[in-house]
Structure 1
Amino acid sequence: MPSNRGGVGAGPEVFHITGRGVTEVVPRLAEVEADVQGLVEANMAALLGVSFLASEYSTGPVHGGRIDSLGLDENGAPVVVEYKRGVDAGVIHQGLYYLSWLVDHRAEFERLVRDRLGSPAVPQVLWSSPRLICVAGDFTRYDVHAVREHRRSIDLVRYRLFGSDLLGLETVASVSGRPQAARRVRQQSAVPGADDGQRVVLDELARGLDETLLGLGEGVNSVQHKTYRAYQRLRNFACVCPPQRTKLLVYLKADPEEVDLIPGFTRDVTGLGHHGTGDLEVQLRTLRDMDRARDLFRASYAAA
Structure 2
Amino acid sequence: MLGLKLFHTTKSGMTEVRPHLAEVEADVQGLVEAHMEALLGVTFLASEYSTGPVHGGRIDSLGLDENGSPVIIEYKRGVDSGVINQGLFYLSWLMDHRAEFERLVRDRLGVTAAAQVLWSGPRLICVAGDFTRYDVHAVREHRRSIDLVRYRLFGSDLFGLETVASVSSRLPVSRCVRRQAAGPGGGGQSMALVELAQAVDESLLGLGDGVNCVQRKMYRAYQRLRNFACVCTPQRTKLLVYLKVDPKQVDLVPGFTRDVTGLGHHGTGDLEVQLRTLRDVERVQELFRMSYAAA
Q: Look up the match of 1:4.
A: none
Kept in 2, the 8 Å contact 1:190–1:199? The answer is no
Amino acid at match of 2:63: G
Q: Look up the match of 1:84.
A: 76
Q: Look up the match of 1:6.
A: none
Q: Look up the match of 2:165.
A: 173
Kept in 2, the 8 Å contact 1:11–1:170? The answer is no
Does 2:257 match 1:266? Answer: yes
Does 2:247 match 1:242? Answer: no
Please give the alpha-carbon distance, in whole angstroms, between the structure 2 residues aligned to 1:11 and 1:132. 26
Please give the alpha-carbon distance, in whole angstroms, between the structure 1 residues aligned to 2:3 and 2:86. 25
Please give the alpha-carbon distance, in whole angstroms, between the structure 2 residues aligned to 1:64 and 1:189. 45
* Secondary structure of the corresponding residue to residue 207 of structure 2: coil
Does 2:129 match 1:137? Answer: yes
Kept in 2, the 8 Å contact 1:77–1:126? The answer is yes
Change (3 A) 1:191 1:64: closer
Q: String of CA shifts for 1:55-95, please: whole Å, max 9, x gaps.
A: 00000010000000000001000000000000000000000
**More displaced stretch, 244-253 vs 180-189:** 180-189
Q: Look up the match of 1:231.
A: 222
Q: Look up the match of 2:2.
A: 10
Amino acid at match of 1:34: A
Q: Which runs of 5 or more residues in structure 1 are unaligned? A: 1-8
Q: CA deviation at 1:184?
A: 3.1
Given candidates 209, 219, 223, the residue that maps to 2:200 is 209
Please give the alpha-carbon distance, in whole angstroms, between the structure 2 residues aligned to 1:81 and 1:35. 14
Does 2:151 match 1:159? Answer: yes
Amino acid at match of 2:95: V
Q: CA deviation at 1:227?
A: 1.5
Please give the alpha-carbon distance, in whole angstroms, between the structure 2 residues aligned to 1:191 and 1:136. 41
Change (3 A) 1:273 1:299: same
Please give the alpha-carbon distance, in whole angstroms, between the structure 2 residues aligned to 1:84 and 1:10. 17
Kept in 2, the 8 Å contact 1:81–1:132? The answer is yes
Alignment RMSD, CA only? 1.7
Q: Look up the match of 1:184.
A: 176
Kept in 2, the 8 Å contact 1:191–1:245? The answer is no
Does 2:294 match 1:303? Answer: yes
Q: How many residues align?
A: 294
Given candidates 199, 209, 221, the residue that maps to 2:190 is 199
Query: TM-score, normalised on structure 1?
Result: 0.93
Q: Percent identity?
A: 79
Amino acid at match of 1:230: A
* Secondary structure of the corresponding residue to residue 22 of structure 1: strand
Change (3 A) 1:269 1:280: same
Q: String of CA shifts for 1:252-298, please: whole Å, max 9, x gaps.
A: 00110000000000000000000000000000000111101000000
Amino acid at match of 2:205: L
Q: Look up the match of 2:59.
A: 67
Kept in 1, the 8 Å contact 2:21–2:129? The answer is yes
Amino acid at match of 2:284: A
Please give the alpha-carbon distance, in whole angstroms, between the structure 1 residues aligned to 2:72 and 2:3. 25
Q: CA deviation at 1:178?
A: 2.5
Q: String of CA shifts for 1:10-63, please: whole Å, max 9, x gaps.
A: 242211122343222100000000000011001101111000000000000100
Q: Which runs of 5 or more residues in structure 2 are unaligned? A: none
Amino acid at match of 1:10: L
Given candidates 271, 277, 282, the residue that maps to 2:273 is 282
* Secondary structure of the corresponding residue to residue 37 of structure 1: helix
Q: Look up the match of 1:116.
A: 108
Change (3 A) 1:21 1:171: same
Please give the alpha-carbon distance, in whole angstroms, between the structure 1 residues aligned to 2:77 and 2:16. 22
Q: Look up the match of 1:3.
A: none
